[in-house]
Amino acid sequence: DSGVTQTPKHLITATGQRVTLRCSPRSGDLSVYWYQQSLDQGLQFLIQYYNGEERAKGNILERFSAQQFPDLHSELNLSSLELGDSALYFCASSTPGRQGANVLTFGAGSRLTVL
């Protein structure tokens, strides 16, 4: 158990629908990152939050949005779903490491299938 909790583990939905993925970071971690893993695109960074504030944005579609709440859990909202959104969505939280490096600890992922 990495300490990063993601729900749901699996989700099957239809095109055009909206889903919400939830993430609870490791105790003490203030940063939350969202990544999308698909066969053709690999691991793509979507967005990062630090202590409730958006810190960095990657290749996140306008149909996707995220937020981090005061209790530090985060939600990734995916709307107007398309077949190509089928992927494994990871949440990670960061742990301060030596020499300023932050090790990302990943959750088990939420596998989204859009039919």
**Which of 64, 78, 89, 109 contacts other proteins by CB under 8 A?**
109
CA separation for the pair 102, 93 (Å, rounded) = 9
Q: In the complex with other proteins, which residue's Cβ is closer, 35 or 64?
A: 35
Strand partners, 11: 112
Among residue numbers 19 through 58, which ones bind other proteins (CB under 8 A)?
A: 31, 33, 35, 42-43, 45, 48, 55-56, 58
Min dist. Cβ of residue 80 to other proteins (A): 25
Residue 89 Cβ vs other proteins, minimum distance, rounded to whole Å:
11
Q: Which residues, including other chains, have CB under 8 Å from residue 77's CB and lie 6 or more apart?
A: 18, 19, 20, 21, 64, 65, 66
**String marking each residue 78-107 x if it binds other proteins according to CB under 8 A:** ----------x-x-x-x--xxxxxxxxxxx
Task: Supply the DSSP symbol for 62.
Answer: T
> Residue 81 in 3-state DSSP?
coil
Strand 53-57, strand 64-68: pairing: unpaired
Q: Which residues bind other proteins (CB under 8 A)?
A: 2, 31, 33, 35, 42-43, 45, 48, 55-56, 58, 88, 90, 92, 94, 97-109, 111
